[in-house]
């Protein structure tokens, strides 16, 4: 990232007064000359940030047997197969499960049931589980997901993506932002030409134009 970009990040951080909580830093991305009503043009990417998210997140695993045993050591929540129906019958609990976890992993054979019974809660939030074989060790995937962010435009030309936290410092944030923007450019039909503007801001702070 060039000096102008570094200065924009620093200005965004300095322009946000101290809060009683750890503020996230995010990008506001504005696209142009692209029809996002066409599904293939929409952005839905997961990016492993080189310096992590800066905040702890919760990861849930749908599984049984050996996979569930392994997951208990690495995940925040393990949902047994019989609990899928329980959540499906309790909409409040299902919404809470979806909202409280950033990512989900599932034993592959459970995916059809999860899609049928919980898809209405997970799908719109972009949180359908990633399938893994029943014999897999989910720990490495969970470790990576803890440092991963999702970039999702849906049909909106303006969307937001987290890139870290205010206390990470300018250099580490810049590296994370570069990782996100490099992925974005690679997925746009016309690359940089499809980007109208990008702003960087903290959770409660004013936006600063990055490019």
pLDDT digits (tens, 9 = 90+) for 20-61: 788 999 999 999 999 999 999 999 999 999 999 999 999 999
**Distance, C-alpha 181 to centroid of its chain:** 14
In whole angstroms, give the CA distance from residue 174 to residue 51: 10
**pLDDT of res. 16:** 80
**pLDDT of res. 28:** 97
In the chain, what are the domains?
3-54+147-209 (3.30.190.20), 59-145 (3.40.50.790)
Classify 43 as helix, strand or coil: coil
* Residue 208 reports pLDDT greater than 80: yes
Going from the C-alpha of 31 to that of each of 35, 41, 115, 163, the distances in angstroms are: 10, 11, 31, 18
As a whole number, mean pLDDT of residues 205-210 equals 95
**pLDDT, tens only, 115-153:** 999 999 999 999 999 999 999 999 999 999 999 999 999
**pLDDT of res. 130:** 95
In whole angstroms, give the CA distance from residue 78 to residue 76: 7
Tell me the β-bridge partners of 26: 162, 201
In whole angstroms, give the CA distance from residue 157 to residue 211: 16
In this structure, the chain runs to a length of: 211
Give the start-end residues of each E strand in 37-126: 44-48, 59-62, 77-79, 103-107
């Amino acid at each position: 990232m060039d000096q102008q970009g570094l200065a924009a990040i620093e200005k965004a951080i300095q322009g946000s007064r101290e809060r009683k909580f750890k503020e996230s830093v995010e990008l506001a991305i504005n696209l142009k000359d692209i029809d996002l009503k066409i599904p293939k043009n929409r952005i839905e990417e997961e990016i492993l940030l080189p310096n992590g998210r800066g905040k702890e997140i919760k990861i849930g695993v749908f599984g049984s047997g050996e996979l569930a045993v392994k997951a208990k050591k690495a995940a925040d929540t393990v949902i047994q197969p019989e609990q899928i129906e329980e959540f499906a019958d309790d909409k409040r609990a299902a919404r809470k499960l979806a909202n409280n976890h950033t990512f989900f992993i599932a034993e592959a054979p459970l995916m059809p049931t999860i899609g049928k019974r919980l898809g209405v809660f997970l799908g719109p939030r972009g949180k359908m589980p990633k399938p893994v074989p029943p014999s897999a060790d989910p720990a490495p995937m969970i470790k990576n997901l803890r440092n991963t962010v999702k970039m999702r435009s849906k049909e909106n030309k303006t969307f937001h993506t987290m890139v870290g936290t205010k206390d990470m410092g300018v250099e580490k944030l810049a590296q994370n932002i570069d990782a996100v923007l490099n992925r974005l450019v690679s997925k746009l039909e016309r690359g940089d030409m499809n980007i109208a503007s990008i702003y960087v801001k903290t959770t409660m702070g004013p936006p600063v134009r990055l490019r």
